[in-house]
Amino acid sequence: MKVLIIGGVAAGTKAAAKLKRELPGADITIFTREKEISYAGCGLPYLIGGSVEDEAELIVNTPEKFAALTGVAVETGCEAAALDPTAKTISIRRSPDGPAEAVGYDRAVIAVGASPLRPDAAGVELPGVFTLRTPADASAIRGWAEREDIRRAVVVGGGFIGLEVAENLKTRGIQVTLLEASSQLLPGIFDPEMADYLRRHLVKNGFRVITGAKAEAFLGDSRITAVRTGARILPADLAVLSIGIRPNTDFLAGSGIAMEKGAIVVDRRMRTNLPDVYAAGDCALVTNRITGKPQYSPMGSSANLEGRTLARVIAGEEAAYPGVLGTGIVRLPGLNCGRTGLSEAQAVGEGYDVVTALAVTDDKAHYYPGAATFITKLIADRQSHRLLGAQVFGPGSVDKMIDIAATGIAAGMILDDFDGLDLAYAPPFSTAIHPLVQAVYVLLNKLSGAMVSMTPAEYAAGKAQGRRVIDVSRAPAVPGATYVALDKVRGPIDGIGADEPLLLVCTKGRRAYLLQRKLAAFGYTDTVVLEGSTSFCEVKAHAAGTSVPPEEVTRVKGLGFLRDKNTADRFNGRVITRNGKITAGESRAISEAAERFGSGEIAMTSRLTVEIQGVPFDSIEPMREFLMQAGLETGGTGSKVRPVVSCKGTTCQYGLIDTFSLSEEIHERFYHGYSHVKLPHKFKIAVGGCPNNCVKPDLNDLGIIGQRVPEPNLELCRGCKVCQIEAACPIKVAKMADGKIAVDSDACNHCGRCLGKCPFKVFERSTNGYRIYIGGRWGKKVAQGRCLDRVFTDRAEVLDVVEKAILLFREQGITGERFADTVARLGFENVQEQLLSNELLARKQDNISSQKHLVGGATC
């Protein structure tokens, strides 16, 4: 039997290897256009991040090794040009410009995979814009990130691969923006409320997430500098496209093979409609195991199983591939996300009488070190109790939850079958009642009426409107809610009516359920438990005009919202400018935010941040979300590196340096890069373009001032009676002495205004540089900063000094003191010596990881 397999990687090589074992005498040849036939495609994002160190680690088999191990002939660099089912031939082109040669077959396997989609957008071919499909792609992205010292990246597409790429770029210290055209991340994979939780988690971990927007153009001349959407421009040194894939099936046009949207239609035996032609992998459709309908499910796991099944069928076995459940999992910083089966929307679309429950459970014994939680959403049919789907989030072993659920769904188990299931238990691994079984119990309680609850999706849609929020957490946790201590409830609760509509919340939902059972026994008739409670939902119970609890005032202050002292519940939100300027689009977004969420008024702070006035407490999160969509962030408070303040030296007639560029680099590297680092007090940085000191760099903890140091050629001086240099010097330190011009180098402020003023070219040459001041401050106690002895000419060295100053302050500062106090206590010469050496950088990791300054001293 002569078998031609077109394509390798997962399905093609698996089919070839299995078939050769089943039929050792078969003549099997793989034709593939790639140089590698078998690589771990799912590991590509981790090569970018560095978890996989070398591209070679992802190569499962080289063509030579595979051929030697299996006896299958392998020809790389070959592309299929056409399929003739009547003649039973496939036309193969062995080089891009070479002739097509018809190769006959007895059986043919199409496993050509798919290629990444590229948007029809200007600039998509610019250097720095990548797709990800092969190890070479991953190496190219990683090389670009390392070689070009990338600071900002845009990942276009919020599916599994896009999220994995985003996570791995973040591990490299790159600021990542996720851009998804759909209204949510992982569209069609997770239900909207689950996707929203995921979005909130990513934002809290420093990602910028923009949904409902497409990449319309990639900007730049010789390389990418930004991505333009319909509403904004996103600065970017790197863009990775992950907007989907398209089956590589163009060569099958005219063959008569059945396809849907480019994917080959096959039956459960992986047969196409053409005799003796089979298909598997990312170029073929498969069957949904629940609905029985065809679906496109390009996964490496199913591709291997399809290839194995296909080989058994060709070998004459009565094999069939039962189909997929859409099982998938992704790792993100601090959160693993898995799913299997139907989503709620899919189940409704299939006509099921859908019921869901969301449960927050311990993922192992609560007392065991490292214990955390699982957030589990189960989807089932109300009438039959059949489990239809599961979605699970958590920092731990989400895979075991999904695997158990997938097994149950595949076996046709109903919820009741999980009751008493004998699953592995020991404190390091699980809870005595398995977390998935606990989630099943929640859903069964809901079905039986033992628990009356509201889903997070219903709560987000406003179904709790008019209900009084009862907080039954171990300690009060919901501002404005009525707190009830569960262990003290012995009868009806004073002040809460028996017929009053109540929403019961706690941390996870369990205590709320227990309170509901107690209240039912005491005659309360309208209580509803909020599923997931505060662990999952953003619960709001604060009444307008009432005082906000002190702990909440402190919390939102960390987000950049300072309470307006004239009100009980209104705040002024600081919108950060990266370098002292904002775009017109950002300005419009700030104005709209002020009108929608605040008083309509905007103030400018002395630090060049924009402050939106009069934001009600309950509008803080909506406003932050609105601003984030425009690429803006709030913050700039606390004992941390503060947003940089910059003059407009880039465009000012006296400006000597590019202040906008330098300030933005400081913002990304130290405001964002050190956002998790607590300092003894706030640390303010100012960048001035010249010695005019418009933004007072010498009155900040650290200030940088542009310098232009003249290098006069005094041999050319003619001792003019009216010296143009003496006349041009704004601070009068250039003076004629003994018939020659002289400049007091200690008094010169290096403004550069003398340059080019002498007709005899005495003052033509100069050196551009930076003066660094340390230990300044203004406010309650003013301190004049002192400049380091050197004028720095290397911008990278300036940035290193900034980092060393921050590290010195963290390591040697005392909690509550300003950097000026630290410099005075240690001595300027001592501090200068440390800033000019590299010992602080050598101790960086130990310094940052140490538990220091947990409180800090900043009060504003």
Q: CATH number for the domain including 616?
A: 3.30.70.2500
- Give the DSSP H/E element, type plus range, for residue 787: strand 786-787
Write down the pLDDT at residue 40: 84
Write down the pLDDT at residue 145: 93
Write down the pLDDT at residue 211: 92
Write down the pLDDT at residue 503: 97
> What is the spatial distance between Cα 177 and Cα 153, in angstroms, rounded to a whole number?
6
Specify whether 792 is located in the same domain as 654.
Answer: yes
Write down the pLDDT at residue 585: 85
> Nearest CA to 397 among 340, 439, 336?
336
Write down the pLDDT at residue 21: 96
CB atoms within 10 A of CB 645: 24
Residue 706 domain-assigned?
no
Write down the pLDDT at residue 738: 87
Task: Give the SS3 label for residue 221.
Answer: coil
CA angle (651, 652, 657) in 5-degree steps = 70
**Rg of the Cα atoms in the chain:** 33
Q: Cβ contacts of residue 51 below 8 Å, gap of 6+?
A: 168, 171
> What is the spatial distance between Cα 557 and Cα 563, in angstroms, rounded to a whole number?
8
Specify whether 683 is located in the same domain as 824.
Answer: yes
Specify whether 674 is located in the same domain as 815.
Answer: yes
CA angle (74, 76, 80) in 5-degree steps = 100
Residue 517 domain-assigned?
yes
Residue 73 domain-assigned?
yes
| DSSP category for residue 542 | P
Task: Give the SS3 label for residue 342.
Answer: coil
Residue 43 domain-assigned?
yes
8 A C-beta contact, residue 310 and residue 272: no
DSSP states along 725-747:
HHHH-TTS-EEEETTEEEE-TTT
Q: How would you class 233 by CB atoms within 10 Å of its CB: exposed for 0-12, middle for 13-18, buried for 19 or more?
A: middle
CB atoms within 10 A of CB 8: 30
CA 135 to chain centre: 22
Domain of 732, CATH number, reads 3.30.70.20
Q: How far apart are the first and last CA of the chain?
A: 79
Specify whether 804 is located in the same domain as 838.
Answer: yes
8 A C-beta contact, residue 506 and residue 538: no
Domain of 145, CATH number, reads 3.50.50.60
- Give the DSSP H/E element, type plus range, for residue 628: helix 620-629
Per residue in 431-469, pLDDT (tens digit) is 999 999 999 999 999 999 999 999 999 999 999 999 999
Residue 52 domain-assigned?
yes
Sheet architecture: strand order including 175-180: 129-131, 238-241, 152-156, 175-180, 208-211
Phi, then psi, of 736 in degrees rounded to 5: -80, 135
> What is the spatial distance between Cα 595 and Cα 592, in angstroms, rounded to a whole number?
5
Write down the pLDDT at residue 3: 97
Is 42 an active-site residue? yes
Specify whether 693 is located in the same domain as 807.
Answer: yes
Specify whether 487 is located in the same domain as 440.
Answer: no
Residue 674 domain-assigned?
yes
Q: What's this model's pTM, rounded to 2 decimal places?
A: 0.81
Residue 394 domain boundaries? 328-450
Dihedral sign of CA atoms 475, 476, 478, 484 in order: positive
Specify whether 63 is located in the same domain as 40.
Answer: yes
Amino acid at 92: I
- Give the DSSP H/E element, type plus range, for residue 226: strand 226-228
8 A C-beta contact, residue 385 and residue 364: no
Q: How would you class 56 by CB atoms within 10 Å of its CB: exposed for 0-12, middle for 13-18, buried for 19 or more?
A: exposed
Q: Cβ contacts of residue 204 below 8 Å, gap of 6+?
A: none
Q: Cβ contacts of residue 510 below 8 Å, gap of 6+?
A: none
8 A C-beta contact, residue 852 and residue 678: yes
Specify whether 591 is located in the same domain as 693.
Answer: no
Residue 840 domain-assigned?
yes
| DSSP category for residue 783 | B
* Annotated catalytic residue within 42, 652, 720, 787: 42
Last residue of a domain, one of 512, 536, 560: 536
8 A C-beta contact, residue 446 and residue 357: yes
| DSSP category for residue 496 | -
CA 357 to chain centre: 28
Last residue of a domain, one of 611, 629, 647: 629
Dihedral sign of CA atoms 257, 261, 267, 269 in order: positive
Specify whether 623 is located in the same domain as 681.
Answer: no
Specify whether 618 is located in the same domain as 556.
Answer: yes
Number of domains present in the structure of the chain: 7
Per residue in 351-405, pLDDT (tens digit) is 999 999 999 999 999 999 999 999 999 999 999 999 999 999 999 999 999 999 9
Q: How would you class 180 by CB atoms within 10 Å of its CB: exposed for 0-12, middle for 13-18, buried for 19 or more?
A: buried
Write down the pLDDT at residue 853: 86
Residue 378 domain-assigned?
yes
Specify whether 87 is located in the same domain as 153.
Answer: no
Last residue of a domain, one of 389, 418, 450: 450
The CA-atom distances, in angstroms, between 465 and each of 202, 461, 501, 540, 745 are 28, 9, 10, 11, 72
Specify whether 75 is located in the same domain as 165.
Answer: no
Give me the residues of the chain with pLDDT under 50, please.
none
